[in-house]
Structure 1
Amino acid sequence: MTDEPGLERPYTFAEPIPTERLVLRPMRLADADAVHAYQSREDVCRYLLFEPRDRARVAERVTEYVAHDRLERTGDYVQIAVERRSDGRLLGDVYFQLKSVPNRTGEIGWTFHPDHHGQGYASEAARAVLGLAFRRLGLHRVVAELDPRNDASIRLCRRLGLREEAHFVRDLWFRGEWADTGVYAILDEEFARAGEAAPADPD
């Protein structure tokens, strides 16, 4: 237990969030096969903090994702399924965590199946989650931490308006070697100026 206060307006992720081409919705147990299709790939996991997962491990993780649906206190997170509206296909997911409630800071991340890269889906989904963070949760700052070798994620950060704030050199023991960490961030006023309704660019 903690004495730290929660958000003034706690959020339970129960209702889908529609965008122009997508539906952002809570993860379901039935999504395990679709999630396994990308979490099992070496090219997808190359810059993530876990190795490719087998079907059983993915099912365990999806069960955990389903149980996490409330954002109120530091450490709370949601793993948001990103579904294409035209055919209901799950394309990937967006991770969002309350990194610090006192400092009104969140953290965002994303993982998409490579078959759906280059069509702007990650931009569209992440922009909607940033809108949730700033407009609904009233956060001040959202960060993304990534491997600086991950050029695709860096390009996505820049399209979303996130600035590079830090580059930590060899700070993380990662798959048998020291690796760097890049930190990108955007403030609420910066997001408002950029406009969350900006057109989605190819990812």
Structure 2
Amino acid sequence: MSRNVALRPRYPLRTARLLLRPSTPDDADAMLAYKARPDVVRWVPHGVLDRAGVLDRIERSRGELDDEEQTLGLAVIEADSGTLVGDVLLTWTSREHGGGEVGYVFDPAVAGRGYATEAARELLRLGFDEFGLHRIVARIYARNGASARVLQRLGLRREAYFVRNELLRGEWTDEIVYALLADEWAARRCR
């Protein structure tokens, strides 16, 4: 798949209960409230962040994609309250292969409400329907059961299990790769 296009969504993206829009420096304090917590970022490669780290990640994220290896970084806002509840990522991993990857981190104050599933579903829609990706993956650490359940609810298939694949804060951890193809996404939407 050789593409010469860009993904420039019209913001905010709206789901039933959420608004997704590019992260800005004004989001730093709200993101810091959960990204500075070891229990929240236990399974996130970057680990605990301070304010400068949050600002750096916001600065490196983008609101559009025009080349591979770029990441769309979106703040997730609860529509009713206007509260930032998490953030999500869509990375364009390969132009040639039409590949993408999704990721998400949410404030534990909203755990159990289905927000991660709802926001990640919108990223899948964006990647497949608007950007025309062929395949989207999510990589998680094997002990992250909550994230595995989100991916399974979204219909992603567990494709690979890598034993002691990643060194995470001094400990070898197993990694699981989940994936979904564009035609599988289309078939799920038609049901």
What are the equivalent positions in structure 2 for 1:63-82 lying under 5 Å apart? 63-65=59-61, 68-82=62-76
What are the equivalent positions in structure 2 for 1:47-62 lying under 5 Å apart? 47-62=43-58
Q: Counterparts of 2:65 and 2:116 in 1: how far apart (Å)?
A: 22
CA contact (8 A) 1:145 1:184 kept: yes
Quick check: 1:18 aligned with 2:19? no
Corresponding residue for residue 156 of structure 1: 150
Corresponding residue for residue 118 of structure 1: 112
Match among 21, 24, 28 for residue 28 of structure 1:
24
The RMSD of aligned alpha carbons is: 1.7
Q: Secondary structure at the match of 1:195?
A: helix
Q: Counterparts of 2:52 and 2:177 in 1: how far apart (Å)?
A: 32
Q: Secondary structure at the match of 1:142?
A: strand
Show structure 1 runs of 4+ deviating over 6 A: none
Corresponding residue for residue 35 of structure 2: 39
Corresponding residue for residue 161 of structure 2: 167
The answer to which of 13-22 and 74-83 deviates more is 13-22
Structure 1 residue 25: Cα displacement = 0.6
Aligned residues: 191
The answer to which of 23-32 and 172-181 deviates more is 172-181
CA contact (8 A) 2:63 2:74 kept: no
Q: Secondary structure at the match of 1:127?
A: helix
> What runs of 5+ residues in structure 2 fail to find an aligned partner?
none
Q: Counterparts of 2:93 and 2:29 in 1: how far apart (Å)?
A: 29
Q: Counterparts of 2:28 and 2:10 in 1: how far apart (Å)?
A: 19
Structure 1 residue 14: Cα displacement = 5.3
> What runs of 5+ residues in structure 1 fail to find an aligned partner?
199-203
CA contact (8 A) 1:14 1:69 kept: no
CA contact (8 A) 1:162 1:185 kept: yes
Q: Counterparts of 2:189 and 2:10 in 1: how far apart (Å)?
A: 25
CA contact (8 A) 1:14 1:26 kept: no
CA contact (8 A) 2:78 2:84 kept: yes
Corresponding residue for residue 145 of structure 1: 139
Q: Secondary structure at the match of 1:156?
A: helix
Q: Deviations over 1:69-105 (max 9, x none)?
A: 2212210111111101101100101111001111001
Corresponding residue for residue 102 of structure 1: 96
Q: Secondary structure at the match of 2:16?
A: coil
Q: Secondary structure at the match of 2:105?
A: strand
* TM-score between the two structures when normalised by the length of structure 2: 0.94
The 3 A distance-change label for structure 1 pair 102 and 121 is same
Q: Secondary structure at the match of 2:40?
A: helix
Amino acid at match of 1:182: I
Q: Counterparts of 1:57 and 1:72 in 2: how far apart (Å)?
A: 25
Q: Secondary structure at the match of 1:131?
A: helix
